[in-house]
């Protein structure tokens, strides 16, 4: 049998936890290959090596070519890979996550499948946005109204603080440049936040599609989760970028860099991991045990990998 080139597949126990990784890296117009345990990135400006095990999410923009060996390393390292549009504005596809445990996924599916528990989780997420007020008895309609008023206030306060004019949120997903500078910055900032939110959700083994507030979309839970941090992170960053940007500046690039700094400085990845587990009722200190069992409606969980037909033969003799 032909020996495999490059470094051996990394054991999950050797990889960095998602909370300790670099938040995200956006690449466009580059070729990605592999050298040992690093992604070899080559573009018109030269070549750099990116250690695969320390990146949380890799955003691949237009003009990126990826070799099979590079994708193999990304998958083995648990790096979330998403294919996005120019400036990271739209997500088109994604790769496999880090965790092989279904603990969070099963908890999420159980919570979202029951009306009472789903409402409980939705209220819990709204409570995170209103820490000084008890919202445990509010209806979803009332919560949507409170959230709408809060977001409008956040936009207005950011405008007054930075001096950046603000009217309303308008954008065209297929035409980034047609928006005003502040709307361009908000689009780029929110997309970066969506990317990081998506990465945390899938890296921990939860489902991006099983939302509690949003529903009916394969990224419903991503929108749920990202909404927890917009007022604190992406909205202020967008207004600051526009305030300090020079005329004809690349707003998308400046915003991505500012968001990356905000993620690191605010240790957002660590908070997201803790928050996600808390939302789904999992102890934040618990690390999922990656085991495989067989389900039985009468006898409970049964061992995986046992030759049960051989056992039946022994018992019948």
Query: What integer pLDDT is reported at residue 158 of this predicted model?
Result: 97
Query: What integer pLDDT is reported at residue 52 of this predicted model?
Result: 77
Looking at domain 103-279, its CATH class is: mainly alpha
The pTM score is: 0.71
Query: What integer pLDDT is reported at residue 11 of this predicted model?
Result: 46
- The reply to whether 227 sits in an annotated binding site is yes
Say whether domain 12-94 belongs to CATH 3.40.190.10.
no
Give the span between the Cα atoms of 154 and 187, in whole angstroms. Answer: 16
Where do the domains of the chain lie? Answer: 12-94, 103-279
- The reply to whether 309 sits in an annotated binding site is no
Give the span between the Cα atoms of 20 and 36, in whole angstroms. Answer: 22
Cα 52-259-235 angle, rounded to 5 deg: 145
Give the span between the Cα atoms of 108 and 122, in whole angstroms. Answer: 12
pLDDT, one tens digit for every residue, the chain (317 residues): 444 444 444 444 433 455 556 667 888 899 999 988 888 999 988 999 988 777 777 888 889 999 988 888 887 776 778 887 776 666 666 665 556 678 899 999 999 999 999 999 999 999 999 999 999 999 999 999 999 999 999 999 999 999 999 999 988 777 788 889 999 999 999 988 998 898 888 878 899 999 999 999 989 999 999 999 999 999 999 999 999 999 889 999 899 899 989 998 888 988 998 999 999 999 877 665 556 677 777 777 777 666 665 555 545 55
- Nearest residue to 26 via CA among 61, 55, 73, 74: 61
Please name the residues in contact with 95: beta carbons below 8 A apart, sequence gap of 6 or more. Answer: 71, 74, 75, 79, 80, 81, 82
Query: What integer pLDDT is reported at residue 10 of this predicted model?
Result: 46
Contact (Cβ atoms closer than 8 angstroms) between residue 224 and residue 214:
yes
- The reply to whether 137 sits in an annotated binding site is no
Q: Is the Cα torsion angle 84, 256, 128, 163 positive or negative in sign?
A: negative
Give the span between the Cα atoms of 317 and 312, in whole angstroms. Answer: 9
Query: What integer pLDDT is reported at residue 272 of this predicted model?
Result: 92
The helix (H) or strand (E) run that includes residue 40 is strand 38-43
Query: What integer pLDDT is reported at residue 163 of this predicted model?
Result: 97
């Amino acid at each position: 049998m032909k020996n495999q080139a490059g470094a051996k597949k990394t054991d999950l126990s050797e990889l960095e936890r998602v909370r300790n990784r670099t938040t995200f890296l956006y690449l466009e117009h580059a070729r990605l290959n592999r050298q040992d345990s690093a992604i070899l990135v080559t573009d018109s400006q030269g070549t750099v090596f990116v250690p695969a095990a320390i990146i949380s999410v890799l955003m691949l923009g237009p003009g990126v070519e990826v070799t099979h060996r590079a994708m193999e390393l990304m998958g083995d390292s648990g790096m979330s890979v998403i294919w996005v549009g120019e400036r990271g504005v739209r997500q088109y596809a994604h790769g496999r996550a880090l965790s092989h445990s279904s603990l969070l996924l099963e908890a999420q599916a159980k919570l979202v499948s029951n009306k009472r528990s789903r409402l409980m989780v939705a209220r819990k997420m709204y409570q995170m946005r209103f820490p000084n007020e008890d919202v445990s008895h509010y209806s979803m309609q009332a919560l949507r109204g409170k959230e709408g008023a809060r977001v409008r206030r956040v936009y207005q306060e950011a405008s007054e603080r930075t001096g950046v004019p603000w009217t309303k949120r308008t954008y065209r997903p297929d035409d980034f440049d047609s928006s005003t500078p502040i709307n361009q910055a908000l689009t780029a900032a929110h997309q970066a936040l969506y990317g990081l939110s998506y990465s945390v959700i899938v890296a921990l083994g939860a489902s991006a599609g099983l939302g509690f507030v949003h529903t009916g979309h394969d990224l419903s839970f991503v929108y749920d989760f990202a909404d927890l941090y917009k007022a604190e992170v992406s909205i202020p960053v967008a207004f600051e970028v526009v305030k300090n940007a020079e005329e004809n500046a690349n707003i998308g690039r400046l915003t991505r860099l500012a968001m990356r700094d905000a993620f690191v400085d605010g240790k957002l990845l660590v908070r997201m991991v803790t928050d996600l587990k808390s939302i789904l009722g999992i102890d934040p200190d618990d690390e999922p045990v990656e085991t495989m069992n067989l389900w039985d409606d009468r006898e409970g969980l049964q061992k995986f990998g046992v030759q049960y037909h051989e056992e039946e033969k022994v018992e019948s003799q």
